[in-house]
């Protein structure tokens, strides 16, 4: 009987652990549960042959939980076997197995890097089971899907200390990311010491003031910023710190655009005489490096010092957002275009990148740049970092160039992650945790062979609106968890709720580390969905949905407010406020959504041209969901179209009378967003033959400041077609001149 109970107990223990999934991030590729448990000893005996540096890291992390003692293999609690076969791929270099039995923990890997990743898993297991002082016996067999799993940090718009940068690297190591992309130069600041050119930091590392608040407010703090930069000794320390954690640091030196800080120090490198100063505003500026011989000499000398400091295979050379205004007006540039039989200024950009790549290749390194380096033809050995969407990565992979996927719509962590009303000021956009988790870095357009050119995934943190390191923490956590699992290759969007529970469990680790993470995950989120009567507002929360309370009259929710059970019909203009309560206490911020309904609300809508991937949240339905655009939520309540017209057809369901059509467009020229050039309203009863009933021009749109209300007289129709014309190419004298303008449109209504 006793034997039967013991066997039953062991079986039940294994069943319990198999049903209670481990709270690991990223989740391993393969987990096998075994019988028994490893009970925490007072002294953790370490195999004397364990890799020393990585084991010291483990001991430091577990300090306070154990005493440590080195000993021979046979009696060690923690043992290590270095697999003799050579690792045959980048991913295999990060392969490991972790076997936990009642008496021993055994790690196997091909490399110290694999051992270090196993150590990170082991640390998470000790953290999870620390209160019980025992870990279930199990075997983990693991390796990442992608060889590039990165996080970027912009230190130009706002600067962060060496200690803060090291903390950032620690976060990457904890969750098995392996690349730190350090954005060191831009218009607003030059942050790396270059001994040959001391004025870069003497002049370029400071600015007279900084923009504050929302961009549209155009306000400045009037306070000098800087000088802030990293000495070469400090950079060596950061690189060594990262190497000790098996993280590659990829430096970025921006060219040919985003160069104002450099030009302020060395104005002779520009197409005009200047004078220049580091930018105090955010955005894109016309003054860029001029492609003359002294510029290439300067950049080669800079890169020589950079490559001495950074041993990474790739050197990031930027290449993005380079206006061609100065090049068009520059006699030298035009002569260069003619002499080299270049097609135009885009060809000159390609010439510039080719020159730099040839030099970097001569030093045994490779370049990587933002997807604008595709302009005019991609340099022979260049890799592409695809940020404007996925097309840059697709084009690179199809031409057998490597690519890192970092599309803004999924991987820009300077975007809002919750309701802007409850979040600190951010760049815009809307990239919540579940959206990051849903990302697949391999585009469906690629076949199996082409997919091999996708190195991996990276998230970017631009810091225009991030003033200190506490806010850095807030913007990356918990979204870094999702990125980690996407890069590891074990994310499963259909199981998002299970991932969400692991995220919430991991918050206790961040609490112990005093990390200021975003708690947006606890807030009630809303989504407008079409239904047979028009539209409904669906509420959800990471917690028990029974705790959601809401009001329809604009008052604050309380415990005695309506209990949310089903999507709320949006049949009239109203304000829905919602919040989550637990044990009769308010546990979340109050979420508020105002609805302005019209005869188009909830109706079927189609678009002839689709919005940019970065600004496509909700698709065409966003234009008839009853929500008027919020200038802080460009990625959620607006659709954005670069260089495209908006042609929307709305099916009213039956012939309907109306006399006014309205819509909003947005103007923010600093971000290349321009008001529409014109608008036309058409009607039809068969969706084939359309009649033009009203047209307005640029002057009327400008006078209305983008809030367009068009009196169309007494009309009756089943279909309304609205054509809104994009401003086209941005004219000289504006940020982004010679580039395609953005057109942002929100709610299209009829009254």
Q: Which residues are catalytic?
A: 186, 258, 321
Angle CA(223)–CA(224)–CA(227) in degrees, nearest 5? 150
Element (H, E) at 248: strand 248-255
DSSP state for residue 708 in the 8-state scheme? E
End-to-end CA distance of the chain: 80
Cα-Cα-Cα-Cα torsion 566, 569, 575, 579, nearest 10 degrees, comes to 10
How far apart are the C-alpha atoms of 291 and 376, rounded to whole Å? 15
How far apart are the C-alpha atoms of 500 and 585, rounded to whole Å? 22
How far apart are the C-alpha atoms of 525 and 550, rounded to whole Å? 12
DSSP state for residue 188 in the 8-state scheme? T
Angle CA(499)–CA(501)–CA(502) in degrees, nearest 5? 65
How far apart are the C-alpha atoms of 685 and 620, rounded to whole Å? 21
How far apart are the C-alpha atoms of 176 and 110, rounded to whole Å? 17
Which of 95, 78, 77 has its CA nearest to residue 86? 95
- What are 549's two structure tokens? 């309370």
Kindly report the three-state secondary structure assignment for every residue of 115-127: HHHHHHHHHHHHH
- What are 644's two structure tokens? 């495209």
How far apart are the C-alpha atoms of 751 and 744, rounded to whole Å? 22
How far apart are the C-alpha atoms of 461 and 458, rounded to whole Å? 10
Question: CB atoms < 10 A from the CB of 161, how many?
Answer: 13
Please provide the DSSP assignment of 607-650 as one string: ESSPPPGGG-TTGGGGGGSS-PPPTT-TTTT-EEEES--EEEEE
Please provide the DSSP assignment of 540-580 as one string: E-SS-GGGEEEESBSPPP-TTSEEP-SPEE--SSEEEEEEE
How far apart are the C-alpha atoms of 189 and 25, rounded to whole Å? 35
Which of 554, 558, 608 has its CA nearest to residue 579? 558
- What are 22's two structure tokens? 């481990």
Q: What are phi and psi of 23, to 5 degrees?
A: -90, 60
Question: CB atoms < 10 A from the CB of 219, how many?
Answer: 11
Instruction: Give me the half-sphere count of Cα atoms (radius 13 Å) on the Cβ side of residue 105.
Output: 26
How far apart are the C-alpha atoms of 641 and 745, rounded to whole Å? 8
**Which residue is associated with the tokens 């969706």?**
687
Cα-Cα-Cα-Cα torsion 115, 120, 123, 125, nearest 10 degrees, comes to -100
Q: Is the dihedral of CA 505, 506, 511, 516 positive or negative?
A: negative
Please provide the DSSP assignment of 302-325 as one string: HHHHHHHH---SEEEEE--S---H
């Amino acid at each position: 009987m006793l034997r039967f109970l013991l066997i039953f107990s062991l079986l039940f223990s294994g069943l319990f652990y198999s049903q209670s999934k481990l709270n690991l991030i990223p989740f391993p590729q393969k987990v096998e549960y075994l019988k028994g448990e490893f009970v925490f000893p007072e002294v953790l005996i370490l195999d004397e042959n364990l890799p020393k540096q990585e084991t010291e890291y483990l001991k430091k992390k577990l300090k306070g939980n154990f005493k440590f003692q080195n000993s021979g293999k046979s009696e060690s609690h923690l043992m290590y076997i270095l697999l003799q076969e050579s690792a045959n791929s980048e991913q295999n270099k990060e392969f490991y197995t972790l076997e936990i039995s009642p008496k021993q923990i055994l790690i196997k890997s091909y490399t110290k890097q694999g051992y270090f990743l196993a150590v990170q898993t082991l640390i998470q297991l000790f953290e999870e089971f620390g209160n019980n002082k025992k870990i279930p016996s199990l075997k983990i067999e693991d390796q990442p899907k992608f060889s590039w799993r990165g996080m970027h940090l912009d230190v130009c718009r706002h600067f962060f200390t060496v200690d803060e940068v090291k903390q950032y690297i620690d976060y990457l190591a904890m969750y098995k990311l392996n690349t730190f992309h350090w954005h060191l130069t831009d218009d607003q600041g030059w942050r790396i010491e270059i001994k040959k050119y001391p004025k870069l930091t003497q002049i370029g590392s400071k600015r007279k003031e900084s923009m504050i608040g929302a961009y549209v407010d155009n306000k400045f703090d009037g306070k000098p910023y800087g000088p802030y930069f990293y000495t070469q000794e400090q950079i060596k320390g950061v690189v060594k710190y990262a190497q000790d954690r098996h993280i590659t640091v990829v430096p970025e030196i921006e060219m040919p655009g985003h160069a104002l800080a450099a030009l302020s120090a060395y104005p002779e490198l520009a197409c005009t005489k200047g004078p220049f100063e580091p930018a105090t505003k955010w955005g894109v500026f016309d003054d860029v490096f001029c492609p003359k011989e002294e510029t290439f000499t300067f950049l080669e000398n800079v890169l020589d010092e950079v490559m001495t400091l950074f041993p990474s295979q790739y050197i990031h050379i930027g290449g993005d957002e380079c206006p061609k205004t100065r090049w068009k007006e520059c006699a030298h540039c035009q002569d260069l275009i003619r002499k080299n039989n270049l097609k135009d200024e885009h060809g000159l950009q390609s010439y510039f990148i080719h020159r730099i790549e040839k030099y970097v290749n001569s030093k045994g390194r490779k370049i990587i740049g933002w997807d604008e380096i595709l302009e005019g033809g991609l340099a022979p050995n260049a890799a592409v970092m695809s940020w404007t969407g996925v097309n840059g990565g697709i084009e690179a992979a199809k031409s057998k160039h490597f690519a890192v996927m970092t599309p803004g719509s999924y991987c820009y962590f300077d975007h809002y992650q919750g309701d802007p009303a409850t979040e600190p000021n951010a760049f815009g956009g809307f990239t919540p945790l579940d959206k990051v988790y849903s990302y697949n870095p391999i585009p469906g357009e690629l076949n199996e062979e082409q997919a091999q050119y996708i190195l991996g995934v990276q998230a970017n943190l631009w810091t225009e609106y991030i003033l200190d390191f506490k806010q850095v923490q807030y913007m990356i956590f918990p979204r870094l968890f999702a990125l980690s699992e996407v890069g590891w290759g074990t994310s499963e969007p259909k199981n998002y709720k299970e991932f969400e529970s692991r995220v919430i469990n991991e918050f206790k680790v961040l609490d112990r580390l005093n990390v200021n993470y975003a708690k947006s995950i606890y807030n009630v989120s809303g989504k407008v969905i079409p239904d047979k009567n028009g539209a409904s507002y669906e509420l959800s929360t990471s917690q028990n949905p029974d705790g959601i309370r809401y009001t329809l009259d604009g008052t604050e929710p309380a415990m005695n407010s309506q209990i949310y059970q089903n999507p709320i019909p949006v049949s009239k203009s109203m304000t829905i406020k919602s919040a989550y309560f637990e044990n009769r206490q308010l546990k979340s911020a109050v979420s508020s959504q105002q609805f302005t309904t019209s005869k188009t609300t909830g109706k079927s809508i189609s678009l002839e041209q689709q919005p940019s991937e970065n600004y496509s949240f909700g698709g065409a339905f966003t234009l008839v969901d009853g929500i008027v655009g919020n200038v802080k939520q460009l990625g959620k309540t607006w659709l954005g179209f670069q260089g495209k017209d908006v042609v929307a057809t709305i099916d009213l369901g039956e012939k309907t009378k109306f006399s006014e059509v309205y819509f909003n467009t947005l103007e923010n020229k600093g971000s290349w967003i321009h008001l529409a050039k014109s608008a036309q309203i058409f009607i039809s009863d068969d969706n084939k033959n359309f009649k033009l009933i009203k047209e307005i021009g640029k002057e009327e749109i400008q006078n209305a400041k983008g809030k367009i209300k068009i009196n169309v007289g007494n009309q009756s129709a089943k279909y309304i077609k609205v054509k809104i014309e994009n401003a086209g190419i941005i004219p000289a004298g504006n940020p982004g001149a010679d580039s395609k303008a953005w057109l942002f449109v929100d709610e299209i209504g009829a009254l």
